[in-house]
Amino acid sequence: MRAMTTLAVAAAVLSLGAAEVKAESLKIGIIESLSGAQTSTGRLFASAAQYVIDQINADGGFNGSPIEVVEYDNAGGTTGAADRFRQAVAEGVHIVVQGASSAIAGQITEDVRRHNIRNPGDEVLFMNMGAEALELTGEKCHFYHFRFTTTAPMRVNALVSAMSEEGDLGSRVYSINQNYSWGRDMEEAIRAAAEAGGYEVVDSDLHEVNRIQDFSPFVAKIRASEVDTVMTGNWSNDLLLLMKAAGDAGLDVRFGTTFLDQVGNIANAGETAVGHYIAHLVNLELEDEAWVQDYEQVTGHVPVYIEPQTVNAMLLLREALSDLDFGGEDIDVTQIGLALEKATLEGPNGTLSIRQEDHQIVTPVVVSRIDEGAKYAVDETQWGFVPVKVVSAEEAMYPVQDSCQMDRPD
Amino acid sequence: MARVWQLLLFVLIMAVLIGLPPLLGAGLQNAMTNMLIAALFAMAFNLLMGQGGMLSFGHAAFYGVGAFAVMHLMTAIDRGGLSFPTPLLPLAGAAAGLLVGLVTGWFATLRSGVYFALVTLALAEMLHSLAPHWEGLFGGEAGISSMRMPWGGFIFGQVIEIYYLTLIWVTLSIGLLYAYTRTPFGRLTLALRDNEERVRFMGYDAHATKMIVFAVSATFAGIAGGLLAVSNEQANYELFGTHVSAQVVLHTFVGGSTVFFGPAIGAAIFTLFAYLVSDVSRSWLLYQGVIFVLVMLYAPLGIGGVVMLHLRHWASIPWQRMVGPYAGATAATLLMAIGTVMVVEFLEALFSPHYVAQRRQAETSWPAFERFGASWEPFGILTWGPPLLLLIVGLLILLRLRHRIVALWDEVQETAETAARSGV
Amino acid sequence: MLEFIIISTLNGVTYGLLLFMVSAGLTLIFGMMGVLNFAHASFYMLGAYIAYSITRTIDFWIGLLVAPLLVGLLGMLVERYLLRRVHRYGHAHELLLTFGLAFIFEELIKLFYGDFPVNYSMPAYLRFPAFSLFGADYPFYRLFIGLVAIGMFVLLYILLSRTRVGLVVRAAERLPSMAEALGHNVPLVFMGVFGVGAALAGLGGAVAGAFFPTNPNMALELGVIVFVVVVVGGLGSIEGSLVASLMIGVFSSFAVGLNWSLARLLDLVGLGDWARELGGLMTLTLSSISGTVPFLLMLIVLLVRPAGLFGERN
């Protein structure tokens, strides 16, 4: 009798084991700039994604097993990204996550598109957490790419709306941007919003990316044009040096920026940053304190810069996964894509969702001002981002681009 | 080295290159494709350097131009409906390399030595800073992207197919480069390196000759770039960067520029090394630099040169007495390498932002850090003791054995000289 | 317009003087030893980072003093124990060694300080406007950089032309074997010159790093421009280096603010719109290719007159 029970139990356990062998675990590959100049940003995308995945796994994972996460270092270059993508595919990755550079995102989205054409049934999905070049949801759009961040027109529309309400916009605006796709997107958006915003773009500049050591000639030009506001999409050194040069020259203008919240910027800029504006996706002051504190406990710092938007993106994925059941069998990435299109997330600023036509996230945009007295001080200074206005998703959104011709699987 | 052995070695290497990849995963297959491309690029570079005696610091220019040419052709096939065999795509790279090589070569070869190197540097940098603004030709910062079209029954969708295509091209190209050295013009190239004035006195137009050598080198560099474009289906202006020119210089001299296959060996070692190590360590570029400097200091002929030296004096080397010191030296080098790696990795861990965050959170001001799957105390004897010990012991052994090895090689030289003098 | 010209000239001159601080050492080393030191810009970067560390822990002025000394010491060690060893393999080999060293220095900086810029800046009391021009303040620190460079040039000039040490150095540069025959310790002179050259670059880094961004890329960014400067000025000539630095500094400053293009030029003859339609080279503005022009200049000099403006024909 005992022997029979033991055998029965053994058989049951073995059959369970057999079932386990069939269950395919979801594999996510984070192909990021983990070395090179963009390391600090790349690391943030990775840690934010990992935070949510750990939560999903704590709740039982997906498809009967924990979600596997593999990090790949693309060394900050497109050839590195191409090599790592091939490695990821060979290792069975279903979803690729990346955000630190539009050029690299351009490479990855094309690699994903080509892979999917050549391997029907074995598709890979690309979650773009931070690359804002318009062409990714334009010329280069395809079903398996999802953008979870804003674009130039969204940020500019929000800035214009908030700053004019605060009376800080004025009627004369100067546009200065970097001479590549993002900078040109920004310039176009600034011009396009002029009529609605009631201002005139007095002059504009496109300068070389990350090469200019000395912005004082530009500052001289800005002063000469007698503008009230300077709008710029510059990041890293280009933003810092511009603001420092303006501060050094005693220039009295208001800056409307998009990347002032990059880690280290406020510490570096110091007093010169105070009073200027930034349009970004999340301001911690408006968020639920519980998750901010939990994030700090897990990772060691409050979510900064692009971490909140990445967390939201992964939460949307979680939402999509909860509607799916592959019964422990092979994972169908196309189904994940279709579910992701329908996923929504309620946030303190509004609802997040995905626009079906080009897979652009529909999100409210927050405009903040750098000032003292913010709830969360930044970079260990006395300043932080004080929320000024939450611009609704409808107001901030940009129209679907004609160049996006998406082939749908259904 | 005897003919038979050469042939056997060649067959062995080809067998590995042909037979091994299907057994590997796609990631490694891709790495091997990159290795072949780097090897061809280095061989093309060395045609100019090792044989022609002209050190170029801007070879990325031809590499990049080759890649872009292939991308434009690929786009014409993909979107323009042009009918052209996909396997022949790298020809566009060769053509572009040849054209640009002729033009830039005419200018560059007007000068020699350090000035020549600076001209090549200037040309490459001009291209690098111009490319992102010339969108029609170079596609902005995202570059040009396209897709390989099927041809002749092959889809060219799998990594392994691209690997074999690359293997065929690289083998043919290196074969051509080898044949080049056997031609009278190849001999003339060597003569240019050794004594340009004499070449002129023999009646040749030295400038035109140098220009042709330059153009041939650029052609094969263009093929290498073209192969990269075929593999990645994308090219952007990063390919003109100084680090690309720098890598090929590193590969060539570590492998040995005086030996024909030296650069290929250097390229193969470094690309595989990079692939295997870059996932595990953040400091692999540092290791690469250190190896390069050590080779420059202690093995100026490169790995290939050292191997050649041994092969040439094979008979006269007193192997029985040599094996001991060699084994000891290898062991000592290994000890020093492990010690160095440990120190570098520990330092990297201690100075990383991750550890800085850890310090802020922990109770003690210097908590233990993780490396190699174990925990280490930042100021502990057990942390720094072992690597320093390994370094010192390795160094001492090496210093001791150096004299022995040098003495043995002096013997070898003497034997060779006496043999030469007596006409053996 | 006048404001633009004056500000650009001032900026150009101060930037040029900074370039001079770094290139003076390079041209001195090349003139003396025939070695084009690829690691020279690395000395610049090391100077900035060492000054940063010292400023953080001790004091800014101590940093300015000590950093060049440490870098100079490093330079001497590099010459004595590394360069001298490969001297017998020829100039190409020495070049390659310095190339490898540049690589290693950059990676070491990344190892200890991280891949991103560090916050090295001057103390608050130095951050004031020197004067006001057309309503714009001109920061004092820029003038400070220029003053340090001028002081350095004067000192170097006096040292080389008026002192005994300078005499020996110039003799060793012209005819090393003769100088050795006369009893001077030429290897020591070489080591000293290399060290001084490195120290000058280190001083440049320490001073400029507080104003311009200090990041691991700064060696590469400045390094190629410095090569252009020494080639255009003439390898081995300090005066040439000064003139070329000023030229390139002023040009860069002006070009950055000018939106001239071939299309604009053709506007004068009414072909502007046609040119703009053509795109490509026609619409390239001077500001966007401001980084390319120095290389074009270097190319022209190398092809037409490799000795540069003030160098000797050899």
Reduce the DSSP state of residue A230 to 3 states and report it. strand
| Interface contact flag, B296 C113, Cβ < 8 Å | no
Mutation target vs B (from A33, A78, A135, A180; most B CBs, 10 A cutoff):
A78
Structure tokens at B172: 């043919």
Name the residue in chain A with its Cα closest to that of C141.
Answer: A248
> Measured between CB atoms, does A90 come within 8 Å of chain B?
yes
| Average pLDDT rounded to a whole number, residues B187-197 | 87
Q: Nearest CA to CA, how far is C276 from chain B (Å)? A: 13
Comparing alpha-carbon positions, the chain A residue that sits nearest to B135 is: A180
Q: Does residue C133 or residue C186 have the better pLDDT?
A: C186
Instruction: Kindly report, residue by residue over C3-15, the tens digit of the pLDDT.
Output: 778 878 888 898 8
Q: Residues A308-323: what's their mean pLDDT?
A: 94
| pLDDT higher than 60, residue B172 | yes
**Is residue A112 predicted with pLDDT exceeding 80?**
yes
The span from the CA of A212 to the CA of A215, in Å, is 7
**pLDDT of amino acid C281:** 67
Distance from CA of A244 to the nearest CA of C (A): 10
Residue C10's pLDDT is 85
**Which residues from chain C sit within 8 angstroms of residue A208, using beta carbons?**
287-288, 290-291
CA–CA min distance A386, chain C (Å): 24
| pLDDT above 60 for A19 | no
Decide if C257 and A40 are in contact by the 8 Å CB cutoff: no
Digit-coded pLDDT (tens) for A157-190 = 999 999 999 988 889 999 999 888 888 899 999 9
Put simply, the answer to whether B141 touches A75 (Cβ < 8 Å) is no
Phi, psi at A264, each rounded to 5°: 100, -20
- Of A4-8, B53-57, B100-104, B359-363, the poorest mean pLDDT is in A4-8
Residue B9 CB: number of other CB atoms within 10 A? 12
Task: State whether A135 and B232 contact (CB < 8 Å).
Answer: no
The Cα B156–Cα A241 span in angstroms is 47
Task: Name the strand (E) or helix (H) holding C212.
Answer: none
Residues 60-119 of chain C whose Cβ lies under 8 A from any Cβ of chain A: 114-117, 119
More reliable by pLDDT, A198 or B140: A198
Q: Is the Cβ pair A79, B358 closer than 8 Å?
A: no
* Closest chain A residue to B146, measured at CA: A110
Give the CATH architecture of domain B12-286: Orthogonal Bundle (1.10)
Residue with the larger pLDDT of the pair B129 and C287: B129
pLDDT of A16 strictly over 60 = no
pLDDT digits (tens, 9 = 90+) for A42-64: 889 999 999 999 999 999 889 88
Residue A12 confidence (pLDDT) above 60: no
Contact in structure between B52 and B192 (CB atoms under 8 Å): yes
Count residue pairs from B and C with Cβ separation < 8 A: 111
Closest partner residue to C213 (CB to CB) among A36, A223, A241 is: A241
A120-144 per-residue burial string, b: 16 or more CB within 10 A, e: under 16? eeebbbbbbbbbbbbbbbbebbbbb
Q: Which residue of chain A has the CA closest to B232?
A: A82
SS (H, E, C) chain B: CCHHHHHHHHHHHHHHHHHCHHHCCHHHHHHHHHHHHHHHHHHHHHHHHHHCCCCCCCCHHHHHHHHHHHHHHHHHHHCCCCCCCHHHCHHHHHHHHHHHHHHHHHHHCCCCHHHHHHHHHHHHHHHHHHHHHCHHHHCCCCCEECCCCCECCECCCCHHHHHHHHHHHHHHHHHHHHHHHHCHHHHHHHHHHHCHHHHHHCCCCHHHHHHHHHHHHHHHHHHHHHHHHHHHCEECHHHHCHHHHHHHHHHHHHHCCCCCCHHHHHHHHHHHHHHHHHCCCCCHHHHHHHHHHHHHHHCCCHHHHHHHHHHHCCCCCCHHHHHHHHHHHHHHHHHHHHHHHHHHHHHHHHHCHHHHHHHHHCCCCCCCEEECCEEECCCCHHHHHHHHHHHHHHHHHHHHHHHHHHHHHHHHHHHHHHHHHCCC
Chain C adjacent subunits, 3+ CB pairs under 8 A: A, B
CA distance, residue B301 to nearest chain C CA (Å): 10
Mutate to test the interface with B, among C49, C95, C99, C300 (most CBs of B within 10 A): C99
By mean pLDDT, which of A20-34, A73-87, A95-109, A152-166 is the weakest?
A20-34
Of the candidate ranges A9-23, B117-131, B393-407, the one whose mean pLDDT is the lowest: A9-23
Q: Which chains touch A (3 or more CB pairs under 8 A)?
A: B, C
Tell if the CB–CB gap between C138 and A251 is shorter than 8 Å.
no
Mutation choice for C interface testing from B56, B57, B120, B125 by most C CBs within 10 A: B125
Q: Which of B120, B126, B94, B95 is nearest to B107 (CA)?
A: B120
Minimum distance, in Å, between the CA of residue B119 and any CA atom of chain C: 6
Beta-carbon pairs below 8 A across chains A and B: 79
CB atoms B238 and A118 under 8 Å: no
> What CA–CA distance (Å, rounded) separates C20 from C17?
5
Q: What is the mean pLDDT of chain B?
A: 89
Report pLDDT for A1: 45
Which of B109, B110, B118 is best to mutate for the C interface (most C CBs within 10 A)?
A: B118
Residues 353-372 of B with CB under 8 A from A: 353, 357-358, 360-361
Residue B226 above 90 pLDDT? yes
> Residues of A near C (CB-CB distance < 8 A)?
35-37, 39-40, 179, 205-208, 211-214, 216-221, 223-224, 236-237, 240-241, 248-251, 264, 267-268
Among candidates B31, B132, B238 on the partner chain, residue whose Cβ is nearest the Cβ of A78? B238
Note the pLDDT of residue A353: 94
Tokens encoding A312: 């939201």
Mutate to test the interface with A, among B86, B239, B247, B278 (most CBs of A within 10 A): B278
Domains along chain A with CATH numbers: 21-150+286-362 (3.40.50.2300), 152-280+364-396 (3.40.50.2300)
**Chain B CB within 8 Å of residue A405 CB:** no
CB nearest to A118's CB, from B132, B157, B361:
B157
Across the interface, which of B27, B232, B233 has its CB nearest the CB of A91? B27
Q: What pLDDT does residue A6 have?
A: 47
- pLDDT band at A18; cut points 50, 70, 90: very low
pLDDT tens digit sequence for A341-388: 999 999 899 999 999 999 999 999 999 999 988 888 887 788 999 999
pLDDT of residue B131 exceeding 60: yes
* Tens-place pLDDT, residues C163-206: 888 888 888 777 878 888 888 888 888 898 899 999 999 999 99
B142 with A133: Cβ contact below 8 A: yes
Are A181 and B142 within 8 A, CB to CB? yes
Asked whether residue B123 carries a pLDDT value surpassing 50, the answer given is: yes
Chain C hits for B241, Cβ within 8 Å: none
B30, B125, B147: which to substitute to probe chain A, counting the most A Cβ within 10 Å?
A: B30
Domain ranges of chain C: 2-218+233-251
C115 with A218: Cβ contact below 8 A: no
Digit-coded pLDDT (tens) for A241-262: 898 888 878 888 999 999 998 8
Greater confidence, B223 or B353? Answer: B223
Q: Do C137 and A250 touch (CB under 8 A)?
A: yes
Chain B residues inside the 8 Å CB shell of C85: 297
Q: Is C88 exposed, middle or buried (0-12, 13-18, 19+ CB in 10 A)?
A: exposed
pLDDT in tens, C291-302: 788 888 888 888
Residue range B192-212: average pLDDT? 88
Distance CA A301, CA A292 (A): 9
Between A336 and C180, the more confident residue is A336
- Reply yes or no on whether the pLDDT at B273 is more than 60: yes
Q: What is the pLDDT of residues C79-114, one digit of tens each?
A: 999 988 888 888 788 888 998 999 899 999 988 988
Which residues in chain A are closer than 8 Å to B138, comparing Cβ atoms? none
Say which of B117, B290, B293 has its CB closest to residue C97: B293
Give me the residue from B26, B239, B361 closest to A89, CB to CB: B26
- State mean pLDDT over A106-120: 93
Q: What is the Cα–Cα distance from B314 to B318, expressed in whole angstroms?
A: 9
Residue of C nearest to A269 (CA): C119
Nearest by CB to residue C137, choosing from A205, A213, A248, is A248
| Rounded average pLDDT over A235-239 | 86
Q: How far is A253 from chain C (nearest CA, A)?
A: 13
Which of B348, B328, B333 has its CA nearest to residue B281?
B348
Instruction: State both tokens at A376.
Output: 């969360």
Average pLDDT over residues C141-157: 87
Degrees to nearest 5, angle at CA C288 with C282 and C294: 100
* Domains of chain B by residue range: 12-286, 313-421
For residue A408, the 8-state DSSP code is P
User: C3 vs A40: CB contact, 8 Å cut-off?
Assistant: no
Q: What does the pLDDT read at residue B193?
A: 86
What pLDDT does A240 receive? 85
Q: How confident is the model at residue C280 (pLDDT cuts 50, 70, 90)?
A: low
